[in-house]
Amino acid sequence: MQLIEPHKDLFLAASFENIKDTLTYFDTNPDIDLLFLDVELNKESGIELYAQLPYKPAVIFTTAHESFAFTAFELGAIDYLKKPITQERFTNALTRLVKIKTSTNTFTDQQSRNLNLVFKEGRTMITLNSADVLFFEASKDYVKVVTAAKSHMVLITMKELQQKLKPELFLRISKSYIVNKEKITRVDNEKVHIQQYGFKVSRMLKKDITKQLTAAGN
């Protein structure tokens, strides 16, 4: 709180010490611009919390350990503050945020198109760039994430996944598949095609899918 006080353009909307309360707040407050997130939340993980957020505001991670720095920047963090945090270091992080946001008029669009998606694969947390994903395939409580390079079986349901994805970039075409709109190579009467893959479109969703793809220029 003391670090924020000199910055009159910052307003502290809320502060939490656990994942559950934070997620509850984010579910009903879709307009948070900046998140300061401790990597270690008591016995919980700030990295896992960030992966579960319904949307991703700009984030600055804080921690007492430098070992998490690489992971933080992989997640697209604006900065990484090592405790104890000085006022000068805090201000520098905010300056960095302003520079990034003003460096291009398309910051928001680029940020959403290159959104880092964090998943749990086995016992490991992995990070995938949304722009690299071809499609997602449901498999009970898991989802198969397919990129041009390889596939990953991650622990998440399709419902949870859909809440994480940007609807302007990804399209659910059936109960089992969500595809990256920008990767679609061909559409016919029954299927959506991405490279060598073909996906049958749900009859119930076909009209809405056609409308969205027409609007997107596919």
Structural domains in the chain, sorted by start: 19-103 (3.40.50.2300), 112-216 (2.40.50.1020)
Tell me: pLDDT of 18 over 90. yes
pLDDT band at 211 (very low <50, low <70, confident <90, very high): low
18 in Cβ contact with 45 (< 8 Å): no
pLDDT of residue 210: 63
164-178 burial, b at 16+ Cβ within 10 Å, e below that, comes to bbeeebbbbbbebbb
Find the mean pLDDT for residues 170-184: 91
pLDDT of residue 104: 44
pLDDT band at 105 (very low <50, low <70, confident <90, very high): very low
Backbone torsions φ then ψ of 127, nearest 5 degrees: -120, 130
Give pTM, 2 decimals: 0.51
- For residue 34, with 0-12 CB atoms within 10 Å meaning exposed, 13-18 middle and 19 or more buried, which class applies? middle
Q: Round the average pLDDT of the chain to a whole number and report it.
A: 83
pLDDT band at 107 (very low <50, low <70, confident <90, very high): very low
